[in-house]
Structure 1
Amino acid sequence: MTDGLPETADAHARREAEVRHLLNGFEEELADWAEAARARGPLEKHQSQIESAVRVIAGALEQLRSLPDAERHRKAPELVLDLHHLWDFFRTKLTVRHIPRYQRFLAVADELAWSVYDPVRRAAAMARPGLREPPLTFLSRHPVPFAAARGSDFEELLTSGKQRTLAGRRASGYLPFPVIGIPWSASHHLPALLAVAHETGHHIEDDFGLAEPLRTRLREHAGLPAERIDVWEPWLGEVFADVCATLACGEAYVRTLADALAATPVTAHATGDYPPPRLRLLVCRAALITAGAHVPPDLPGAIDPDDEEAPAVVNALIGVGFRELGGASLASLIGLRNSTQLTEASRRLCTGLRTKRNDVPGVLAAAALAFLDAPDAYDVQAVGMRAQNEALSLVPKGPRAASATEKLLVARDSAAGLALFGLLDADASES
């Protein structure tokens, strides 16, 4: 019953049918997405991500369906709209994967993220069971790549529009798996994809509880004066992400980053999150040395006394294994294998041959080096497209493993769905 005209029996029946359509239709859509994610389905690589998101939304719908008739009739239109708006965050990122051009690029991006993330996930499995869905990459209007953490507020990433209610905005803190945004323009330039390894580094820090251990290592093992520790500490997240990307993609990431930094306006470097450009590249160089990888020539620019801090910081951060990762070192988990063969692999690409690599990061790193060393041959030999195809040929069939502890995942997502409904319902009751 509303504050307006009294509801007739016919109107009540129509409202009941309308609410039934809203709920049934949404549940059928969720079931369709779950079916597409099953083994041998078109989205089987996203099974754990889709199942997690579906459980959260379906849990909220179940709570809505269980309300008394009158309350359900009154609240359903707005609450279903809010849930659709939240689900659209996932829907749009999955739908674009049905477009062949973007499906191929995003499949490669997902596989690069998985190649960096999964070894760490497996090493941390004993300490952190019940996880982890891998990061989902997506194309974004944001001008630079970015990472949004599991469980973070993704309200700013939702599409703006008149349908978004206050309740829906308040309920956007339930991101069930990490995501990585990639500029749409990057889908036409494969070397830009190496930034995904950097963003995956952020998720490794977040998901596996490395933030405090990294701060402790910086303070206790870098050997820097206290005032310099205070300077480096705000940079730590970006430094660690650069180290991860360097270990995973070798000199290709360092040289690609150097080009990106050179093309960026000087004012854009004035941020508290990153070291100055030269120092940032020296961090990557130190990571290459730590991993025993090929190191490019000395960096351009004037030598600065602070240059010597970069190797000390990198050694402090990754010189020894992490207790949180079963004692494994980061280089042993995600370090690029056979990095000395990258030059030959890039030359093969530029002559129309396959790289002969058996790892996705290696193929993509070789493609980036091919562009850096011979951009004309890169275009003539269609290296970008061929490297994507080669990388995808290395991906095994079947869903990606998420966790052996399925009950923990279900309980986690069910609790999130219940909490999500509680927040939406409370706001709807106040309106």
Structure 2
Amino acid sequence: MAATVSERRLLALRSKLSVLQLETTAWRQDSQNAAARFALHHSQIAEVCEGIDELHKLLSKEVDDLQPDAPLAVVESLERRILAAVQIWDTYRAKWSLRVQATLRQTLDLIDDLAWQAYRPAHDLALASGWLPAQRARLPPLVFTNPRWSPFARSRERGYELDEGSGLLQEIDDFEPYLRTMPVPLIGIPWTQAGHLPDAVFVGHEVGHLIEDDLGLEGTLSSLVDAALPEADEARRQAWSVHWRSEVFADVWGVLCCGPAFAETLVDLLIGSADVGTQVQPDAFGRWGSYPTHALRVGALVAAVRALDEPEVPGGFALAADRLAARWQQAHPGPHAMPAFDDDAKAVVKALMGQPLAAFKRTREGDPLPVRQVLRFTRQMQDDAEKDATEALALHPPLSSDVRTLFAGQAIAYARDPAAFAQREVQQRFIGRLLQRRTQGLRAKEMAGLQAVRPDEDDRRAAAASAFRALFDPPAGR
């Protein structure tokens, strides 16, 4: 007897669902040893696959529980959930797949290193302090290229990588809480940035967003900024502590990651806007932006560079801050529309960089550290970055071994002489040095330490299964 339409679709569901397991098996094999092409991402792939395997089990049970005479609407709903699950998997699969092409893989892996060095110190201190429970420990961020004009971090872009044009809106909404708990943070960069590595310093800004979001610092930072402006009226305190806080903190993190090179590269993008003098918030409709006006943002960047100075080496970064301020003033000599906020910028940055935070301790009983001691960009790093820029422009290889210093040096070299940067193959010299220092196995050593504090595989699988069950069994009344 011929099968009914429902029976045929039910049988097809089993085949369609099998793609999840086939995929995770293949990707595990492609990253299982040092010779595999995705060896660098072994831990990321293994852990994401664990979660997808749990999703496969839960979906399989739903398929097994369907009766042959199940209404077509029920079968269709489950098929759509399978497609949504495939989209969750593709959130990561598509980004690893970018590494199939060797040249792009090399570039992305180097920027991955920069993101990890900017992320790891805060993450490790949050684990040591107990602020971040071990079961929420995160793996290194995964950088990927995309067609957007500016970089962005996964935590700020709700469902950005899911295909909402597929008609799976409800299913996507259901899975969003799980995506936010996935163990691998994501950072998107413009495709064009892969060909111009001086702009990679912007990754430090995006890591700042991840730090704020992954460690749950929003409320803490908001209160800290609010307290830094005791004389300001409510509108000014709200502007800094609510509307602009996240972007200002991310800019601070960018400065801590790569020093003045980050600030100078960002100012390059801000200089030249015709409306700098008239930019004002809120706008005519009463709306505040998520960024300060360009003039106020530059003021905060200048304050952040100045705050890099260390007590034992006073004034080392003050000159860089002065040069940055003078450069902006030369490009935009007139007044701007919100001068009452100028001193606020200095106070906010001072609080963000210098106020100890409970999240950052070396031990549970230790003293809280300010962010300027969590991710330090020292005068020695700046000196080394400037020497590297000089050497590379003079047709010699840079000598530093620190990832952040090398990326800073590359940005400095481009700012000094953009034409010579390309003609003298400066970027290639920095890439060569970055590749040399990667052979030391630094990531492997760090990952060994991270894996030691993470829950074991059984516990991780149980947590993934629990997260998915919560999605499959939403609260009553939803």
TM-score, normalising length: structure 2: 0.78
Question: Residues 3 and 274 (structure 1 numbering): CA distance in 2 closer, same or farther, change over 3 Å?
Answer: farther
In the other structure, the counterpart of 2:87 is 85
* 2:147 matches 1:141: yes
* 2:44 matches 1:49: yes
Structure 1 residue aligned with 2:412, among 366, 369, 372? 369
In the other structure, the counterpart of 1:317 is 352
Higher mean alpha-carbon deviation, 317-326 vs 253-262, is at 317-326
In the other structure, the counterpart of 1:158 is 162
* 2:239 matches 1:231: yes
Higher mean alpha-carbon deviation, 347-356 vs 245-254, is at 347-356
Determine if contact 2:226/2:238 at 8 Å carries over to the other structure: no
Separation of aligned partners in 2, 1:6 and 1:210: 50
Instruction: Give the letter for the 1:376 counterpart.
Output: A
Separation of aligned partners in 2, 1:277 and 1:319: 24
Determine if contact 2:226/2:240 at 8 Å carries over to the other structure: no
Q: Secondary structure at the match of 1:325?
A: coil
Question: Residues 282 and 376 (structure 1 numbering): CA distance in 2 closer, same or farther, change over 3 Å?
Answer: same
* 2:28 matches 1:34: yes
Question: Residues 4 and 116 (structure 1 numbering): CA distance in 2 closer, same or farther, change over 3 Å?
Answer: same
In the other structure, the counterpart of 1:113 is 115
Structure 2 residue runs of 5 or longer lacking an equivalent are 281-287, 310-315, 362-367
Separation of aligned partners in 1, 2:157 and 2:56: 20
Separation of aligned partners in 1, 2:245 and 2:176: 27
In the other structure, the counterpart of 2:285 is none
Structure 2 residue aligned with 1:331, among 359, 372, 397? 372
**Shift of residue 215 of structure 1?**
1.8
**Shift of residue 184 of structure 1?**
1.0
Higher mean alpha-carbon deviation, 164-173 vs 292-301, is at 164-173
Structure 2 residue aligned with 1:276, among 293, 312, 315? 293
Structure 2 residue aligned with 1:342, among 385, 408, 417? 385
**Shift of residue 61 of structure 1?**
0.7
Instruction: Give the letter for the 1:37 counterpart.
Output: S
Superposed CA offset, 1:219-274 (max 9, x none): 22344423332221221111110001011111111110111112556499776211
**Shift of residue 138 of structure 1?**
0.9
**Shift of residue 418 of structure 1?**
4.6
Q: Secondary structure at the match of 2:144?
A: strand
In the other structure, the counterpart of 1:393 is 436
Separation of aligned partners in 2, 1:6 and 1:133: 43
Question: Residues 393 and 265 (structure 1 numbering): CA distance in 2 closer, same or farther, change over 3 Å?
Answer: farther
Separation of aligned partners in 2, 1:376 and 1:148: 34
Instruction: Give the letter for the 2:162 counterpart.
Output: L
Instruction: Give the letter for the 2:356 counterpart.
Output: G
Separation of aligned partners in 2, 1:244 and 1:194: 11
Determine if contact 2:154/2:185 at 8 Å carries over to the other structure: yes
Q: Secondary structure at the match of 2:359?
A: helix
Separation of aligned partners in 2, 1:307 and 1:408: 50
RMSD across aligned positions (CA): 3.2
Q: Secondary structure at the match of 1:181?
A: strand
Structure 2 residue aligned with 1:252, among 261, 265, 281? 261
Higher mean alpha-carbon deviation, 34-43 vs 55-64, is at 34-43
Separation of aligned partners in 1, 2:158 and 2:50: 18
Structure 1 residue runs of 5 or longer lacking an equivalent are none
Question: Residues 154 and 132 (structure 1 numbering): CA distance in 2 closer, same or farther, change over 3 Å?
Answer: same
Higher mean alpha-carbon deviation, 413-422 vs 108-117, is at 413-422
Determine if contact 1:86/1:172 at 8 Å carries over to the other structure: no
* 2:242 matches 1:242: no
Q: Secondary structure at the match of 1:180?
A: strand
Question: Residues 136 and 383 (structure 1 numbering): CA distance in 2 closer, same or farther, change over 3 Å?
Answer: same
Instruction: Give the letter for the 2:211 counterpart.
Output: I
Q: Secondary structure at the match of 2:145?
A: strand
Question: Residues 19 and 305 (structure 1 numbering): CA distance in 2 closer, same or farther, change over 3 Å?
Answer: closer
Instruction: Give the letter for the 2:237 counterpart.
Output: I
Separation of aligned partners in 1, 2:185 and 2:142: 6
Number of equivalent positions: 419
Instruction: Give the letter for the 1:313 counterpart.
Output: V
Question: Residues 352 and 424 (structure 1 numbering): CA distance in 2 closer, same or farther, change over 3 Å?
Answer: farther
**Shift of residue 340 of structure 1?**
2.7
